[in-house]
Structure 1
Amino acid sequence: MYQRPELPELVFTDPDGNAIPYGHRWGVDGPPERTYSRTRHPERFAPLIEVADALIDHLERTYDVDVRYTEGLPEDAPDTVRSAEQGQVRIARAATLLPRHDGCAPLVIAETTFPSIVVAMGAAGEARSPACGCDACDESLEDSAELLERIVLSVVEGRFQERYSWTEGIEITIGGGTAATYSREPRHAADKERVDALKQSQRERHGERWLPWPPRRDDAEGAWEAEAEPLRLWTRQEREAAIEAALERIRRRLRSA
């Protein structure tokens, strides 16, 4: 079972020496204009790296998945990870997790020098923790850790789904129930590489949903079996073919009698 590492109680102060209550800084009037696109203490997010490492270790021990670690940006990194490198921010290291069943969504979990964690999911899904990181958004370390865990565990539990259509563009759902989040990116605004990757993925999966990751098998020979297809009514042609096959078996028995 996954267990979050203990988060340190970090205290940061403003120019007057007062402790900054991250997550509860702004009232009904909202943040000041000067706080947008500015992050005074990005180091408060550094413990997210330990949370990401704990998640990766949990997935590697629990699920039937291959894990590849790289320093810096992986050569085959998806565009959703490459786009995290902007200005002085770079990918410091990454873990690529490939389930051993084609029906399961792959994951890339990467650490940036911000510091932050970037997650690429499936063919076109992307998320970051913290989601923004600027002072105006006022994200706390604990909320960012919860966000990262929800995203990663939603993928492995089959609660991350993505879909592309000509009319709706890219649609992505993360989580389930009342905690689910839904986003839509119109076709004309979506990145072409992401669209192409998702269309290719849908063709390979024949439009099927992403499945939950299979549990790890201790025996090397053991292979995970996909869930049985749901029962459905036969078509008229299938019924006639089954009847004809049964009649042919009866004829062969009578001829050999």
Structure 2
Amino acid sequence: MTIELARRRGEASGIDALEWAPRWTDSPDADAYSRVTDPERFRVLQPFVLAVLADLEAEFNVRREPAGTFSGGAAEHVRWSDPVRLVPADAKAAPLTVAFTSFPGVLVRFGEATDVVLPFCGCDACDDLVQHLVEDLRFHVEALVTGGFAEWHDAKGAGHRFAVGAWGTNSSFTPSDDPPTISPFRHDWAPWPLRVTASR
């Protein structure tokens, strides 16, 4: 799939017809960091992420299953519901788990322990534009399904990397002096297997 097509995943939700204007032309007001105006604008991310899952199911050899327990990471810090997981037929490829947050928004877990919460904050100062969050999620998903996603956790901390050719790379490492709460691991995840269409 080309980057142009990857940037259209989830379009059945109609989200690409929507656009939000920036709140600020200069620095935000001091009290904007503690103010949230119209959080409902983020609810459109929920049907969007469901449409992304449907597109992925049509394109790749995966199975959908209830996620059941969704613990650790960002799941400990947001109220979430209705978790569902896509599991690739190839065990070397990373699963994708999504849940709705009460903000409202979405919590997405890539692989074993890499969480992305959209919106991450939602305050007026951050002024997250939904169209930018949509682009971010499409980028992360494309990295996942094309084998451009890696994650690791060891005594020094936790890190991840998302890479999609000319689209770019996003990486992060969070150092930690605390004793690890999970066993060390490193996953350089494989691409998702494509769904084979039977010939007629």
TM-score under structure 1 length normalisation: 0.65
In the alignment, what sits opposite 2:132?
A: 143
Q: 1:134 aligns with which of 123, 127, 141?
A: 123
1:55 counterpart residue number: 52
Question: In the alignment, is residue 75 of structure 1 matched against residue 68 of structure 2?
Answer: yes
**Offset, 1:119:** 0.6
Structure 1, residues 145-200: CA drift from partner, whole Å, max 9, x if none? 11122222221121111123445x222112334621111111326x834x42xx2x
Runs of 5+ consecutive residues of structure 1 not aligned to the other structure: 11-21, 203-207, 220-257
Partners of 1:9 and 1:123 lie apart in 2 by: 32
SS at match of 1:114: coil
Whole-angstrom distance in 2 between the partners of 1:54 and 1:166: 38
Instruction: State the identity %.
Output: 28
Per-residue CA deviation, residues 12-57 of structure 1 (Å, 9 max, x unaligned), is xxxxxxxxxx5522244x2112111321100011111121011110
- State the aligned residue count: 188
Return closer, same or farther for 1:36/1:50 CA change in 2, 3 Å cut-off.
Answer: same
Tell me the CA shift for residue 60 of structure 1.
1.3
CA drift of 1:82 comes to 2.4
Match runs of 1:1-257 below 5 Å: 2-4=9-11, 5-7=13-15, 9=18, 24-28=22-26, 30-69=27-66, 74-80=67-73, 82-85=75-78, 90-167=79-156, 169-177=157-165, 179-188=168-177, 192-193=180-181, 195-196=182-183, 199=184, 201-202=185-186, 209-218=188-197
Offset, 1:75: 3.5
Give the 4+ runs in structure 1 shifted more than 6 A: none
CA deviation string 1:199-220 (max 9, x = no partner): 2x54xxxxx621010012356x
Q: Which has the higher strand share?
A: 2
Q: Does the 8 A contact of 1:133 with 1:139 survive in 2?
A: yes
Structure 2 unaligned segments of length 5 or more: list them: none
Q: Report which of the two structures shows the higher radius of gyration computed on alpha carbons.
A: 1
Query: Are 1:173 and 1:180, in contact at CA under 8 Å, matched by a contact in 2?
Result: yes
Q: Is the Cα contact below 8 Å between 2:142 and 2:164 reproduced in 1?
A: no
- Distance in 1 (alpha carbons) for counterparts of 2:34 and 2:90: 41
What is the Cα-based RMSD across aligned positions, in Å? Answer: 2.4
CA distance in 2, matches of 1:148, 1:35: 25
**Residue type matched to 1:48 in 2?**
L
Higher relative contact order (CA 8 A, sep 6+): 2
